[in-house]
Amino acid sequence: MTALSTNQLEAFWLPFTPNTEFKRNPRIITGAEGMYYRDQAGRKILDSSAGLWCSNAGHCRAPIVKAIQETAATLDFAPNFQFGHPKAFEAAAKIAALAPGNLNHVFFANSGSEAADTAVKIAVAWHRARGEGTRTRIVGRERAYHGVGMAGISAGGIGTNRRWFDALTFPASHLPATYNRAEQAFSKGQPVWGGHLADELEKIITLHDASTIAAVIVEPMAGSTGVLPPPKGYLEKLRTITEQHGILLIFDEVITGFGRLGAGFAAERFGVTPDIITFAKGVTSGTVPMGGAIVDRRIYEQFMTGPDHAIDMFHGYTYSGHPLAAAAACATIDLYRDEGLFERSAALEPYFEQAVHSLRGTPLVQDIRNIGLAAAIDLEPVTGAPGKRAFDVMKTMFFDKDVVIRIAGDCVAFSPPLIAEQSHIDEMTGKLAEVLKAAA
């Protein structure tokens, strides 16, 4: 395979990428298997981030590939508006079976962003269907990422993602971020400090009145802004307060679902059951786009009032429950079960924790956080050039050390596929240490 020419690189506007620089220094991946990518020269490159937190079963796993191939040849598409196909029902049942409590109905979307939009719309519609149509405000959190759709930019808490689009956002309030370096630096797992930050929800409720608030949406562990595990007691408190005020609690589990935290969902790990869980990414191990919202039975049932010919929820996507995605989801969830990958993730967590925290004291390292098979290492920024330090580290890791890493600002995040061996963890942390020492 020959390298892509400058002309061939031009048409594609890459998302969340500085395109001009990329096209000068393209980082092209042409193959993948298990824990590794390949480039066009045949170089093996370790995947330390499960793609974009999605390839939890590793790459190109045979049972998933087979399911997709067979489905493409037998049912390329079938509408799920007014009709249905078996795999979508099977996938919904498998996903619901992993969710806690009465969360047993699945509305399919195609991404995490659409999943967040779907969950927020269902929450607002549910209140309206029960005669509480004034409940439209959504409460999100600073440093939250819920994708780039309506909910993502409104309830999300990343200034750069919001600021150009503020006029398009819906009314949302934001809880403070749960991270505080002075109190939490180098915490392992859930920080002890910060549970009280959930009390800020009471202030928001006092300001706006519960009768205007539909839902609180939070990532149980904020992933994209640098692995912020929930402080001890925080999620429990959010659950108590939302329940007291008739507000729905949505967990965005797009990253934390499907084994990342050693359980089907983070809700199970933390023992807190929300009213809606959103998912994407790991549901198909990243192979075919799929996302969705798992809703509590009482929410679903509120919409099932008839009459027989009338649509119950005016929402959906052409590709909601697409046959290829549904087949991939079924095969992926079966693979997680057959190989015990959620348990494997839990078993590997202590080794992973020790390995990432061994970077403490390495030049340029300012903080390290971890939970499950997710960890973040905050780097000392280059003065006057926020983001440059991690960007340069990412390029050196790729070109010189044969490792793909994920960065967010000046933070490096590791979230390996759940099939990782201890040697892969040693390789990603060891090579990062070498690069940081050389960069200091």
Ligand X SMILES: Cc1ncc(COP(=O)(O)O)c(C=O)c1O
Contact positions toward ligand X, by CB under 6 A? 111-113, 116, 145-147, 219, 223-224, 252, 254-255, 280, 291
DSSP string, 321-372: T-HHHHHHHHHHHHHHHHTTHHHHHHHHHHHHHHHHHTTTTSTTEEEEEEET
Place of tokens 């269902």: 122
Rounded to the nearest 10 degrees, the angle between the axes of helix 388-399 and helix 422-439 is 120
Which residue lies nearer to ligand X by CB, 67 or 217? 217
The two structure tokens encoding residue 253 = 């589990």
On the question of a cis peptide bond just before residue 18, with omega within 30 degrees of 0, the verdict is: no
Which residue lies nearer to ligand X by CB, 112 or 274? 112
Q: How many residues does the chain have?
A: 440
Taking the C-alpha atoms of 111, 139, 221 and 263 in order, what is their torsion angle to the nearest 10 degrees? Answer: -70
Of 95, 55, 90, the closest CA to residue 293 belongs to 95
Which residue lies nearer to ligand X by CB, 224 or 287? 224
Contact 141, 175 (CB under 8 A): yes
Which residue lies nearer to ligand X by CB, 230 or 435? 230
Which residue lies nearer to ligand X by CB, 194 or 223? 223
- Report, in Å, the least distance between residue 332 CB and ligand X: 15
- Report, in Å, the least distance between residue 407 CB and ligand X: 13
Which residue lies nearer to ligand X by CB, 51 or 194? 51
Of 172, 176, 179, the closest CA to residue 155 belongs to 172
- Report, in Å, the least distance between residue 272 CB and ligand X: 16
- Report, in Å, the least distance between residue 219 CB and ligand X: 5
- Report, in Å, the least distance between residue 285 CB and ligand X: 14
- Report, in Å, the least distance between residue 171 CB and ligand X: 20
